[in-house]
A and B are shown apart, each in its own frame.
Chain A
Amino acid sequence: MKLLPKNKLVPIISSWAQRYTVLAPSSTEQGECVFDIFKEETFTLEYRKPSLPPKSQLLPQSDVIFRVEKGTFREVLPERNVLMFGIRSCDLMGLRQSSSFMSRDTQDIYYRRRSDHCLKVVMACAGPQNETCFCTTSRSGPSATTGFDLQFYDLGDSFLVESGSTEGDELLKAGNLADVDDKDTVEQVNALRNKAVAAITEVPDVTRAMEILSSRGASEELWERFGDKCIVCGGCVYVCPTCTCFTVADFPSGPDTGERIRSWDTCLYGGFTKEASGHNPRSTQGLRLKRRHEHKLLYYNQTDVQEALCGCVGCGRCSDYCPVHIGTLEVVKAIVEEQS
């Protein structure tokens, strides 16, 4: 571990910014915090749960895969090296699950290329970032155990910085920082972790709902009730760290020029599963919601989920943002309530 006084933070990030596109928490003119390209003037440590997970850095909302020019095509592969500073451990778990999924059956080279050139610096949470955090249940936080390049623990005036990779070690060389690997420091970090874990309430409904789904399942009425009020905005999917579905479309711009673009899609749209005949195996919004939630809580792939509980990483964003309250927390609660 290294000790980084807070007044050395901006200089060290600035030095990283010479080699990487650094994304860091930044305040907007309206006083919000977003993850944006690091600038000293807008950089802030006053942030909680960023409203969006960092997945768009590896799977952009829309992404040119190849271009056709004068009848020949040229693949477009991403080039830049990115360093994400200050992401939360739940989001790191989201990236790890998605990375595994994107390389398990087939190599998604566009994702892979970005993922290979992306360093992850985690800011360990000292407690819940808001009332919907449930990483202690989903086993994805409040701090990361592996998969990061660096992890920061806030000590007040300084950070304890833990390296998780050789790239992480390399990053720390820039700062000329003091080593602090004594017993006291280890205990201090353990105490911080334990305090954070204790502060984040477990949500037993999640595991109970998983058990119910894997045995008798939730009723059709429950899903239809949610389906009735879903406004099909797809917001839960877009804010989800582990949703990676996309669609591909061609955009001709002239007789022999154009682009193939892939962009985010969602299983909550009817057309996602509609067949060429017009038949749709997931014919109602209720069935589409059922599939989405069961994918997170029941049909997840054990390899992809890593050490986490399931395909949901407990960030709580779907519960934060769904305009009609169909987030994971509301769904598991309804599943459990229905059975009792």
Chain B
Amino acid sequence: MTNSIGEFEDADLFLITGTNTTAQHPLIGSRIINAKERGAQILLIDPREIQLAHFAVLHLKQNIGTDVAVLNGMMNIIIEEELYDKEFVEKRTEGFDALKALVSRYTPKIVQLISGINATDLERAARMYAQAPKAMILYAMGITQHTTGTDNVKSCANLAMLTGHLGKPSSGVNPLRGQNNVQGACDMGGLPVVYTGYQRVNDPAVKKKFEEAWGVSDLDDKPGLTITTMMEAAQRGDLKALYVMGENPLMSDPDTTHVELALSNLDFLVVQDIFLSETARLADVVLPAACFAEKEGTYTNTERKVQLSRKAISPPGLARSDWEIVVDICRRCGYDMNYKTIAAILSEINKVTPSYAGITYDRLRTSYGIQWPCPNEEHPGTVFLHKDQFTKGLGTFLPCEFKPPAEVPDSEYDFILTTGRVYYQYHTGTMTRRIEILEREAPEALLEINPDDARRLGIKNNDMVEVASRRGSVRLKAEVTPRVPRRVLFSTFHFSEAQINTLTNPAHDPVAGIPEYKGCAVNVRRCE
């Protein structure tokens, strides 16, 4: 997030797209509801009738995968009607002319044809967003989990820069991270192209810095593989060994039939997890790990806040903290890694990561966390990003053309399936499906289908249905509900009994490698 959660209190407008905030970030959702009650406006762009739809002044239901067209359309209206922030565009950005030229083709009429959003509504939305004194864009996986995920994100940034809704309190672009430490994992270099703090592996100065810090030479300066490309490589036989920590790709990756083939094709699979997940069952070696309450460490949340978490109880059996396991593996591989404490690891992070330099163990111990960037120990941390100037200087508009999803409905697969999570279950259910109350609340996968479609296909509430894509089929119960529009189906990936990722398309974003979980072509029929 470029803003902080506390800044929701002063925002005048929220453009919410691709996030079911009250279900997936309920406390952030509650701040949005409170803001609405004191007079802030909610502009919702989402195909589904989520809880926040009840609070939205305008709910635009776009066809799935048409976000770039919708955002370009809004920018076109804003430029046409001269509602953009001329001073911000002039002083802080570059590439405006190229943006203007590109978005000018996205007239409200054309966007209506692509997205299904009424031209008048789009105009209203564009004006409201541009004219709000303080406006925050909020998005989550509904924006990123597309083959055009990177373009969708760029378009959100373009829109915010165009209107000057960036670099100020309560104005910014705010991706809501879907896990408590996904921000921290990325910050720590859990990506194939960077070290900690997004320092690129192919930058010679960075390479040298890490070689010195670790007392090694010849660190690999070539980017590694993303998860989706790893699975492809494993299936080809190019990838021989895989070490999976706290991830359950057999449930969470798209096209799980192929994931299983890929994992079986490995010479060696190690899984380090707190429970024996579906993936761990395939492993040659399983390393039992401690859960959050059984270890000490830090998490970095969605607002870039690093927080210390203490050990409350001892881990059961042979389970150990992830870092202790990693240290031992490294030592046995011949590298003398010798951290003794969390504090020692954090101290190294402080040394090699400029944005974390001032986030020391002692400061975390006596506070509720510090937000990066925090360049030194006197620095209070950063509440919102991009004040006065962007990290790179001027912000560059990166206009994108609309591209349809990799798979669109046709006569054989005539529905589009979109996937997500429900309030009571988390991801592949490795943790939440062991909790009796959560199982009581959400015991099985449901397929949301619009009443009109259900009637046409003779499907009633709670009927067993079979959904099929080009990759496989799944049986589950139907929930007939107007929450989804016609020709759209929604389900979740929590349940191994109805593994929805058997259906999803592994086609992925060319830059980020993120798969298109939010849209694939399927058909559906009632089971006899």
- Is A324 in contact with B365, judged by CB distance below 8 angstroms? no
Closest chain-A Cβ to B121's Cβ sits at a distance in Å of 23
Chain B neighbourhood of A233, CB < 8 A: 26-27
Q: A231-B22, A278-B462, A324-B34 are in contact. Are A30 and B368 (CB under 8 A)?
A: yes
Q: Is the CB of A30 within 8 A of B441?
A: no
How far, in angstroms, from A247 to B51 measured CA to CA in the complex? 27
When distances are taken between beta carbons in the complex, the residues of chain B under 8 Å from A247 are 436-437, 440
Known: A29-B366, A30-B368, A324-B33. A231 touches B26 (CB 8 A): yes
- Chain B 18-47 interface residues, beta-carbon cutoff 8 Å to A: 22, 26-27, 29-31, 33-34, 37
Q: Known contacts A228-B55, A247-B436; can you find 9 more A-B pairs with CB under 8 A?
A: A231-B30, A231-B33, A247-B440, A263-B436, A269-B441, A271-B440, A274-B440, A323-B31, A323-B34
In the complex, chain A residues 265-305 whose Cβ is within 8 Å of any chain B Cβ: 265, 269-271, 274, 278
Is B54 interfacial (CB-CB < 8 Å)? yes
**Minimum C-beta distance from A326 to chain B (A):** 10
Q: Decide yes or no: A324 and B30 within 8 Å by CB, A231-B22, A265-B437, A270-B441 being known contacts.
A: yes
> How many interface residues does chain A have, given as a range?
10 to 19
Q: Is B367 an interface residue (CB 8 A)?
A: yes
Q: Mark A313-340, 1 if CB is under 8 A from B, else 0.
A: 0000000000111000000000000000
Answer yes or no: A249 CB below 8 A from chain B CBs.
Answer: yes
A140 to B366, CA, bound (A): 36
Does A232 sit at the interface, judged by CB under 8 A?
yes
Most B CB contacts (10 A, CB to CB) among A29, A228, A231 go to A231
B-side contacts of A270, CB under 8 Å: 441
Contact of A323 among B30, B54, B367 (CB under 8 A): B30
Instruction: List B residues at the A interface (Cβ < 8 Å).
Output: 22, 26-27, 29-31, 33-34, 37, 51, 54-55, 365-368, 423, 436-437, 440-441, 462
Whether A249 contacts B365 by the Cβ 8 Å rule is: no
Bound form: Cα–Cα A30–B370 in Å: 13
Question: B436 to A249, Cβ gap below 8 A?
Answer: yes
Docked pose: A231 CA to B21 CA in angstroms:
10
Min CB–CB distance A229 → chain B (angstroms): 5
Contact with B along A203-244 (1 / 0, CB 8 A): 000000000000000000000000011011100000000000
Question: Closest chain A residue to B316 by CB distance?
Answer: A253
Cβ of B436 and Cβ of A229 under 8 Å apart? Answer: no
Min CB distance A26 to B, Å, is 15
Say which residue of A228, A263, A324 sits within 8 Å of B437 (CB atoms).
Answer: A263
| Complex contacts, B22 vs chain A, CB 8 Å | 231
- CB of B30 within 8 A of CB of A232, answer no
17 residue pairs A–B, Cβ–Cβ below 8 Å: A30-B367, A30-B368, A228-B51, A228-B54, A229-B30, A229-B55, A231-B27, A231-B29, A231-B30, A247-B440, A249-B437, A263-B437, A271-B441, A323-B30, A323-B31, A324-B30, A325-B37
Q: Do A323 and B27 touch across chains, with their CB atoms under 8 A apart?
A: yes
Distance between Cα atoms of A192 and B366 in the complex (Å): 37
Q: Are A232 and B423 in contact (CB under 8 A)?
A: yes
CB-CB under 8 A from A265, the residues of chain B are: 437
| Interface mask (A250-271 → B, CB under 8 Å = 1, otherwise 0) | 0000000000000101000111
A253 to B, closest residue via Cβ: B316
Q: How far is the CA of A29 from the CA of B365 in the complex (A)?
A: 7
Chain B residues closer than 8 Å to A323, beta-carbon distance: 26-27, 30-31, 34
In angstroms, Cα B55 to Cα A228, docked, is 9
Q: How far, in angstroms, from A265 to B439 measured CA to CA in the complex?
A: 13
> Please, how many angstroms separate the alpha-carbon atoms of A171 and B365 in the complex?
37
Contacts of A29 in B (CB 8 A): 365-366
Q: Which residues on B sit within 8 Å (CB–CB) of A263? A: 436-437
Instruction: Tell me the complex Cα distance, A325–B366, Å.
Output: 30
Q: Which of A30, A228, A232, A269 contacts B366 (CB 8 A)?
A: A30
Complex Cα distance A274/B436, Å?
14
B-contacting residues, A80-118, CB 8 Å: none
List residues of chain B with CB within 8 A of the CB of A232.
26, 423
Chain A residues lying within 8 Å of B436, measured Cβ to Cβ, are 247, 249, 263
What is the minimal beta-carbon distance from A99 to any residue of chain B, in angstroms? 25
